Amino acid sequence: MHLLIGDPQGCSAALNRLLDAAGFSPSRDSLHVLGDLVNRGPDNLGVLERLRALGGAATCLLGNHDFHLLAVAAGVRPPHRGDTLHDVLQSPERDGWIDWLRHCKMADRAHGWLLVHAGVPPQWSAEQTLALAAEVEAMLRSEQLAAFLPRMYGNEPARWSDALQGLDRWRAVVNALTRIRFCTDDGTMDFTVKDSAAAAPPGHRPWYDIASRRTRHVPVAFGHWSTLGLLDRPDLLSLDTGCVWGGALSAARIDGGRREVFQVRCAQASRPGA
């Protein structure tokens, strides 16, 4: 079984119940978590411990909240008021957890599906998406991360160009893979609107509705967009259903010739956000 799970965000009790509900077995199955492993929920360490314990049976993507943890841990960004990262930051294994996150993926492929945290700009093919993700993954595992984190925040460049280099190139890739919701037909991304798909800024639409996007014939699964909710199309899966905001934690089985969605309710309830 190939199982995809949307954003756990520190909701370890819901994650454990969801894996049980899906009948997940690490000796037989593979798990793919679509980013935002931590933050806003009550037990970030519990999520990380469960996922790390699964070893090679689990592959985790990095989301915007996971990058935020890296920046806070490095001392280049103060915690936000609503952050719940203290259990990781105060853990005796803090350095080990940060290193573990630095070895997570930015994008992946499983059973024919392209897996990302937020989305894919229309200019990128699946192959380019994975290649650019690999560039950032290499940076994360190198000494270059120290130079990148202070320059990570910001909405520019808003449109991808193959000519981008260095910090601007990495920022554009990270923003696209972990923050995109809306963009224009030419691929100019908006990072300010966090509401539902119906709230697109003028001239923009959800990234997956751009008719010219190069991944339109590739099944894509993503999380990140809690106000979008579950989107279950033959070639598109949105799996952030707002667990941390009192919604559900969702998973989808993508193999075996049939789609199966699993959900468990989450006791955590707070103000909706990114």
pLDDT digit string (tens) for 54-68? 999 999 999 999 999
- The verdict on residue 122 lying in a domain is yes
- The verdict on residue 7 lying in a domain is yes
Position 42 pLDDT exceeds 90 = yes
Report pLDDT for 272: 41
In the chain, how many domains are there? 1
- The verdict on residue 273 lying in a domain is no
Q: Per DSSP, what are the bridge partners of residue 231?
A: 238
**What DSSP letter does each residue of 103-150 carry, written as one string?**
TSBSEEEETTEEEESS---TT--HHHHHHHHHHHHHHHTSTTHHHHGG
For residues 32-38, give the mean pLDDT: 98
Position 79 pLDDT exceeds 80 = yes
Q: Closest Cα partner for 37 from 249, 247, 231, 182?
A: 249
Report pLDDT for 113: 97
| DSSP H or E segment with residue 182 | strand 182-183
Sign of the C-alpha dihedral computed for residues 268, 90, 47 and 33 taken in this order: positive
- Give ∠ CA 239-241-242 in degrees, rounded to 5: 135
Q: Closest Cα partner for 195 from 164, 239, 226?
A: 226
- The verdict on residue 193 lying in a domain is yes
Report pLDDT for 257: 67
Contacts of 22 (CB under 8 A, 6+ apart): 1, 3, 251, 253, 262
Q: Mind listing the pLDDT tens digit for each residue in 194-208? A: 999 999 999 999 999
User: 104 and 70 in contact (C-beta within 8 Å)?
Assistant: no
Q: How far apart are the first and last CA of the chain?
A: 30
What is the percent of the chain with per-residue pLDDT over 90, rounded to a whole number? Answer: 95
- The verdict on residue 91 lying in a domain is yes
Contacts of 177 (CB under 8 A, 6+ apart): 106, 107, 116, 117, 118, 119, 120, 129, 132, 133, 136
Banded pLDDT at 266 (limits 50, 70, 90) = confident
Q: How many CB atoms lie within 10 A of CB 162?
A: 9
Position 165 pLDDT exceeds 70 = yes
Report pLDDT for 259: 84
Residue, of 270 and 146, whose pLDDT is higher = 146
Could you tell me the residue range of the domain that residue 125 belongs to?
Answer: 2-265
Position 210 pLDDT exceeds 60 = yes
- The verdict on residue 260 lying in a domain is yes
For residues 93-117, give the mean pLDDT: 97
**Residue 161's domain is classified under what CATH number?**
3.60.21.10
- The verdict on residue 205 lying in a domain is yes
Residue, of 46 and 269, whose pLDDT is higher = 46
Report pLDDT for 268: 60
For residues 242-260, give the mean pLDDT: 90
Q: Structure pTM?
A: 0.96
Banded pLDDT at 258 (limits 50, 70, 90) = confident
Position 256 pLDDT exceeds 80 = no
| DSSP H or E segment with residue 16 | helix 12-22
Report how far residue 44's alpha carbon sits from residue 79's, in angstroms, rounded to the nearest whole number. Answer: 15
Report how far residue 36's alpha carbon sits from residue 48's, in angstroms, rounded to the nearest whole number. Answer: 11
Position 271 pLDDT exceeds 50 = no
- The verdict on residue 274 lying in a domain is no
